[in-house]
Structure 1
Amino acid sequence: MAETDTDKNDKPEEPGKKKGGGLMTQLVLAVVLGCTAFGTVWFMPARSSGTAECPAADAAGTKVTMLPELPLSELTFIEMEPMIITLGEDASSRNLRIGITLETAKADQESILFAQPKLRDAFTGYLRALEVADIEDPNSIIRLRAQLQRRAEVILGNQSVRGVLITDFVIR
């Protein structure tokens, strides 16, 4: 009897034979994807400003606008009295001694000196709410500076305080 097409198709596949691509197909796919990624980055249009801009965000995720740089002759630094804050609620509480200096334009110096009691109150309220573990973290100084900056901006406006410098930081 003659073999028909249906008999050939009904035969099971050999167990050693695989369907799909082999090693060569995977290599070709890897090279094509690599070339695509490289081409995307290489031919991406460059920014026209000449300087790289990184959109900054504060802890809440809102966009922070960067102030234009002022010449050093137009800047001044206002040193606040050192603050001693009690951390924790129990009798064995620890103290934080912190010195803060505000960077500002000379034109804004008077308004910042006038508002210093409000700034101290806002800074004290924030620092008092911190836990000792929050402060002992090596990266906490960055968050601390950003939070103090944010409180200064709320009280004085976004353009007044250009930076908060922590000049003294002791936990006892």
Structure 2
Amino acid sequence: MPILIGVAGAALLGGGGFYAVYSGMILGHKVPEAEHATAAHAAPMPSYMPIDQLTLSLANPDGAQHLRMSAQIEIADGRLAEAEGYRPRFLAVMNTYLRAIEPRDLQDSAALIRLRAQILRRLQMVAGEDLVDDFLITEFILN
């Protein structure tokens, strides 16, 4: 019986100690609300370059099939004006890549993820990895 009481007491003390450290009651660093609010506002908002609706015909031996897509390119902080100069190259790279895709390549459930990654890599090759942060597809219709 004394062993069970000892094990139960150790478990309670261990659990209580874990909770106290995990919740920040002991050894925790509390951020004053004024500092927290300033830190939240200090983070810069990303800039986005909209890519208006692209409509292209895909290479399909069975007949014409069309892809309609809209997207946003996430640009590094404060460099949206610089990125606008690359807009024609961005559109050319996207059109060239999308035109080469076959409709059967888009049937897979992971196709959109691969497509997004491929276009992002091509945009970064055109403008540099430090200018283009991400590529977001906002509309994707295949018919």
Q: Are 1:167 and 2:138 counterparts?
A: yes
Change (3 A) 1:169 1:155: same
Whole-Å Cα distance in 2 between the matches of residues 88 and 72 of structure 1? Answer: 44
Amino acid in structure 1 at the alignment position of 2:134: G
Q: How does 1:41-120 map to 2 (within 5 A)?
A: 73-90=44-61, 92-120=63-91
Whole-Å Cα distance in 2 between the matches of residues 72 and 148 of structure 1? Answer: 27
Q: How many residues align?
A: 102
RMSD over aligned Cα atoms: 1.6
Deviation (angstroms), 1:73: 2.7
Corresponding residue for 1:154? Answer: 125
Q: Verify the 8 A CA contact 1:83 1:97 in the aligned structure 2.
A: yes
Whole-Å Cα distance in 2 between the matches of residues 108 and 164 of structure 1? Answer: 16
Deviation (angstroms), 1:122: 0.5
Structure 2: gaps of 5 or more residues: 1-41
Whole-Å Cα distance in 2 between the matches of residues 163 and 93 of structure 1? Answer: 31
Deviation (angstroms), 1:144: 0.4
Whole-Å Cα distance in 2 between the matches of residues 124 and 164 of structure 1? Answer: 15
Amino acid in structure 1 at the alignment position of 2:138: T
Q: Are 1:133 and 2:104 counterparts?
A: yes
**How high is the TM-score relative to the length of structure 1?**
0.56
- The C-alpha deviation readout for 1:67-126, integer Å capped at 9, x for no partner, is xxxx65341111111111111255721000011101112322012111111110001100
Q: Verify the 8 A CA contact 2:60 2:102 in the aligned structure 1.
A: no
**How high is the TM-score relative to the length of structure 2?**
0.66
Q: Verify the 8 A CA contact 1:98 1:166 in the aligned structure 2.
A: yes
Amino acid in structure 2 at the alignment position of 1:152: L
Structure showing greater relative contact order (alpha-carbon pairs closer than 8 Å, 6 or more residues apart): 2
Whole-Å Cα distance in 2 between the matches of residues 89 and 144 of structure 1? Answer: 18
Q: Post-superposition, which runs of at least 4 consecutive aligned residues in structure 1 deviate over 3 A? A: none
Whole-Å Cα distance in 2 between the matches of residues 117 and 91 of structure 1? Answer: 31
% same residue: 26
Amino acid in structure 1 at the alignment position of 2:97: Y
SS in 1 for 2:52: coil
Structure 1: gaps of 5 or more residues: 1-70
Whole-Å Cα distance in 1 between the matches of residues 43 and 137 of structure 2? Answer: 19
Q: Verify the 8 A CA contact 1:74 1:105 in the aligned structure 2.
A: no
